Structure 1
Amino acid sequence: MTLNIVFLNEIHLFSNSSTAKTDLSEESGHILWVDFNVPCEAMKKAISLDIASRNSKNKLNFIDLLAYLAAKNGNNFSSYKDRQLDDIAVKLSSGKTMDELTSDLKYYDYYHEAFSAVLSGFVGEYEIELPDTDGTGKHWERRYGIKVFSPIAKNFPYSHYDDFGSRRSYGFSRTHLGNDLIGQVGTPIIAVESGIIEAMGWNQYGGWRIGIRSFDSKRYYYYAHLRKNFPYRKDLAVGSIVSSGDVIGYLGRTGYSIKENVNNIDTSHLHFGMQLIFDESQKECLSEIWINVFEIVRLLDSNRSAVIKNPETKDYNRVYGYRDLSCYSE
């Protein structure tokens, strides 16, 4: 009898166990489980407070704000209102410290570490090309704000709903650990965050897929079911560095086949997922941490990368250049 072990990051089989008793391993010291259900509206509000306080004496940090709120409400955002974050911001702006506000919140440190793993690459300084006001050229601007992009290029339609945890049956029954973005075959797929390509190629479940690791190694972005015959931007390979907003591939319906380059998915879509890695032992194991990215996709819909097609190569490329300043030394 042959025993085959296949890791989750190749087929996305199991959800985080609902019977887990702890979020932190007493033996290893690293987080074992994360339930990320922060609504898009809360992320938008926290980020806006962070940006607005950029040059103030008591600068706010959006991850601090969200972690405080989760620790306060038991990670239940069903009754979320913007004023909850406004109230925290007023206290911090008046001179209170987060240490003072969280002194009696047992799980603040846990939520802060967990949310940092999810969101730490989302806001910061960057430089981006923009069109000149007279329309004759482009210029670079330095900015502070959201520096991640939607996985779907600008002006390309798509639809999605919260399908995290739904059942999948190809091969055997398993849980869906991502968000399916339904769109047209050939739609340019965008790198959400800057990072290094760790995986490319065929997998019988995900079809043509690509995996990108964030520079801080905490996030692994998974893009699957890419287009038959032309899944990737032609100049990419494992080890390539990509910037957020770059075109990395094209939407398709490949997968559900041992044979390569086969369309066995009924509806063309992008499977988009995010794995959290607190310790390298978690990268490929039977207890990987995949979060629900539905609300993140909603957040990023307002920041989509403009692209243009090269008629010679048939590849799409971004229109405006981008530099993530956290990746460059001064």
Structure 2
Amino acid sequence: MLLILKKRTLIGLCLAIVFGIIIFLSAWLLSSNNSSINVSLDEDEAEDYIKWVDFNVPYEAMHKALKLDIDSQEKEIKLNWIELLAYLAAKNGNNFKCFKEEQLNSIAQMLESGKSIQELTKNMEYYPYYYEAYSAILSGFAGEYQIEVANETGEEKQWERHYGLKVFSPIAKNFPYSHYDDFGNSRSYGFKRVHLGNDLIGQVGTPIIAVEGGIVEALGWNKYGGWRIGIRSFDEKRYYYYAHLRKNFPYRKDLEVGSIVKAGDVIGYLGRTGYSTKENVNNIPQAHLHFGMQLIFDESQKENKNEIWIDVYQIIRLLDRQRSEVIKNPETKDYSRIYDIR
């Protein structure tokens, strides 16, 4: 009898231990699952930013939208050219092949009649995306600014206040160049890839201009781009890449990493360096400036396999209407801008 009681006690103790282990493991697994879910949610929230932009807005649309914006500044209701373009992209599914100026005029008329952009876009699922994407590209391009101009006698300069395009072509005024839409073309040096910029063909030594103000983040040799400069916009959304600069004298002499430049400043000189692991080598057959624009919505996108480079061909066409006039210093051989901006 005593032996039977001991066996029952032992069995009960074993069962209690087993149940205890089961309860412990269940609690641990539940906790782990909750932690995994929380981590997953945190990662999703952390990665909630734009990862792809296909910019194919034609010059004609940008030109017209900007004109509507500029002309409205003297009116009670002021238009925003980025909102106009984003509305158009959301409405046409990012297809601008059939663009007509009347489309933008129609949007402008609705806004001028008193309707808000929020009212017009409340049922457009992708308007917020296009507005954020186009803002990242164009937000530093237009607005109020002051620029020096020659006075009536031409002997002195004076400041004038303007509203409009406040960025510049990457090629200085009075220097010829040509280009075509070569974004996405095949490249094979080093490895097979696509071309992520626009090549502006010109003469060796042509002064290269900072399109927008910003901070120099890269300056030096790259085996693909040769002597190159990378400039980050002040809002950190845009990274401008200028490559294949001149052999021996690629940059403005006082330029270095960390330098602050203004829109319209001379930053370097057109050349044909690159395609070489050895520095200061001309291996590019035709002299040209490779100009590229990278969009950065999150700092993790700056240098990785998922970088966002856009087709800037139509943007270059727009920038051609604003070119920085320069003068050469006979002693230093450096060029500098004639008219400052602020």
Fold agreement, TM-score > 0.5: yes
The answer as to 2:88 corresponding to 1:69 is: yes
State the Cα deviation string for residues 255-278 of structure 1 (Å, max 9, x = none). Answer: 000000000000000000000000
Counterpart for residue 180 of structure 1:
199
Counterpart for residue 267 of structure 2:
248
1:238-317 matched pairs, under 5 angstroms? 238-317=257-336
Residue segments in structure 2 that go unaligned for 5+ positions in a row: 1-43
State the Cα deviation string for residues 71-108 of structure 1 (Å, max 9, x = none). Answer: 00000000001111010001101100001100111100
- Secondary structure, aligned partner of 2:74: coil
State the Cα deviation string for residues 49-79 of structure 1 (Å, max 9, x = none). Answer: 1111113221100000000000000000000
The answer as to 2:120 corresponding to 1:101 is: yes
Counterpart for residue 33 of structure 1:
52
Provide the C-alpha distance between the structure 1 equivalents of 2:201 and 2:314, rounded to a whole number of angstroms. Answer: 16
Q: Which amino acid is 2:331 matched to?
A: E
Q: Which amino acid is 1:316 matched to?
A: Y
Counterpart for residue 173 of structure 2:
154
Greater C-alpha radius of gyration: 2
Residue segments in structure 1 that go unaligned for 5+ positions in a row: 1-24, 324-330
Counterpart for residue 134 of structure 1:
153
Provide the C-alpha distance between the structure 1 equivalents of 2:187 and 2:309, rounded to a whole number of angstroms. Answer: 16
1:134: how far off? 2.2
TM-score by length of 2: 0.86
1:167 pairs with one of 186, 203, 214? 186
Q: Which runs of 4+ in 1 moved over 2 A?
A: none
Instruction: Give the structure with the larger helix fraction.
Output: 2
Q: Which amino acid is 2:269 matched to?
A: Y
Provide the C-alpha distance between the structure 1 equivalents of 2:299 and 2:191, rounded to a whole number of angstroms. Answer: 28
State the Cα deviation string for residues 116-171 of structure 1 (Å, max 9, x = none). Answer: 00000000111100011222211001111100000000000000000000000111
The answer as to 2:126 corresponding to 1:92 is: no
Provide the C-alpha distance between the structure 2 equivalents of 1:85 and 1:141, rounded to a whole number of angstroms. Answer: 30
Q: Which amino acid is 1:230 matched to?
A: F
1:27: how far off? 5.9
Counterpart for residue 190 of structure 1:
209
1:26: how far off? 6.9
- Deviation larger for 189-198 or 49-58: 49-58
Provide the C-alpha distance between the structure 1 equivalents of 2:332 and 2:101, rounded to a whole number of angstroms. Answer: 47
CA RMSD of aligned residues (A): 0.9
Q: Identity of paired residues, percent?
A: 73
Provide the aligned length of Structure 1 versus Structure 2.
299
Provide the C-alpha distance between the structure 1 equivalents of 2:94 and 2:212, rounded to a whole number of angstroms. Answer: 25
TM-score by length of 1: 0.90
